[in-house]
Structure 1
Amino acid sequence: MKDDEIILRIETFDAANGGGVGWYEDKGAYHLYLLETDAPIARLKPVGTRDEVRLGYWSHRRKWEDIDDMGGCVLPLDQALDHIAENSIFWTWT
């Protein structure tokens, strides 16, 4: 998947959920954060050549962690974005 497509899908996710989410790329991952407070929301790290990403959240340890203890959660990008919108673990620090 190309970077432009990932960015477009992140921006579409933001618009569909009322806006207010920013993103930046760092070390091959896309980091989502709340624009109002700069609070971290989620980390999307592309894996392989398809549209799958490893999903991370900002933990109480003040670092990115996998949402699954068994090697991380890898989902198609749109499914990962839906999971972010619906799961409160991503909105703890916002």
Structure 2
Amino acid sequence: MYDLRMLYDETVARIEAFDDANGGGVGSYKNKGSCHLYLLETEAPIARLKPTGNGDEVRLGYWSHRRKWEDIDDMGGVVMPLDDALEFIANEAIFWTWT
């Protein structure tokens, strides 16, 4: 049987490894089946990674001016493998607006 806790633990380990390799400063927590990233210094939200159930693919969300998580686009959101998603988040300004 597929163990969601193991998937979450593996996801967190990969997020932490990426964060450490890029200077640190990002924390994560699980909420409603998604992994949320936030800036440790200010606790400002950065991104939401919601598993799609297809391998390690996640749907990306950002903290919007409406003070809620929203998809990157209006066409069903951006879905990509976790490592690509972390790289995308690190390099796209929309995730860092509220930090």
| TM-score (norm. length: structure 1) | 0.96
* SS of corresponding position for 2:83: helix
Larger Rg over CA atoms: 2
Q: Distance in 1 between matches of 2:54 and 2:91?
A: 26
Q: Write the deviation string for residues 12-66 of structure 1: whole angstroms up to 9, x where unpaired.
A: 1111221110110000000000010010000000011400000000001000000
Q: Distance in 2 between matches of 1:71 and 1:7?
A: 24
Q: Distance in 2 between matches of 1:54 and 1:77?
A: 9
Alpha carbon RMSD of aligned pairs, Å? 1.1
Q: Distance in 2 between matches of 1:15 and 1:49?
A: 26
* SS of corresponding position for 2:24: coil
Match of 1:26 among 17, 28, 31: 31
Report the count of equivalent residues.
94
Structure 1 consecutive aligned stretches of length 4 or more whose deviation exceeds 6 Å: none
**Structure 2 unaligned residues grouped into runs of 5+:** 1-5
**Structure 1 unaligned residues grouped into runs of 5+:** none
Alignment of 1:44-55 (within 5 A): 44-55=49-60
